[in-house]
Amino acid sequence: MRYRRAKTKGGTFFFTVVTFRRMRIFTEKSNVDLLRASLKHVIQSHPFKIDAFVLLPDHLHCIWTLPEDNSEFSTRWRLIKTRFTLSCDDQFRQAVFESRKRKKEQAVWQRRFWEHQIRDEHDFQKHVEYIHYNPVHHKYVTFPKSWPYSSFHRYVREGKYESARGMGSKIDFEDRLYGE
């Protein structure tokens, strides 16, 4: 069976991208900065909008909206992953590469990513909540506002959320739907 990805021009998509063997590479601020720079670089040459985002130690979730005339999110992910990998510290990259030599895979990331095409406003909101609550779900923090690498803070600045959102309430999500 061949996997077929959605190809909707101008579509909005939820993604889960995971590091190889769930290595906790994003506990290092330098790697967080490299990922941020890789995203910015690719956005300049292959534009898209990041609607929501969270970066955890070993994976990330995000929602992108592509330009009206384009459906190539796979190309964008390949460029981001490649740029990040090539920018990593040589010693770090070599150690990871040695463990993956036989598979001929990139040195840092799992080979594929998981995507879901957002169907409507309710689906969008459900996925945004999942993204922003994910650090709490994984028990890294008690409240969404406490996690530094999240678009939650942008939503507060833009007045879409109160900063106390998610405090005092538990939100249950079905993990199997989101590629974790």
Among residues 130, 133, 149, 178, which one is catalytic?
149
**Is 149 marked active-site?**
yes
The kind and range of the H/E element at 54 are strand 49-55
Long-range contacts of 44-51 (CB under 8 A, 24+ apart): 45/79, 46/70, 46/72, 46/75, 46/76, 46/79, 48/73, 48/76, 50/151, 51/12, 51/124, 51/128, 51/151
Q: Taking the mean position of all CA atoms in its chain, how far away is CA 111?
A: 14
- CA-closest candidate to residue 46, choices 23, 62, 67, 25: 67
Active site residues: 149
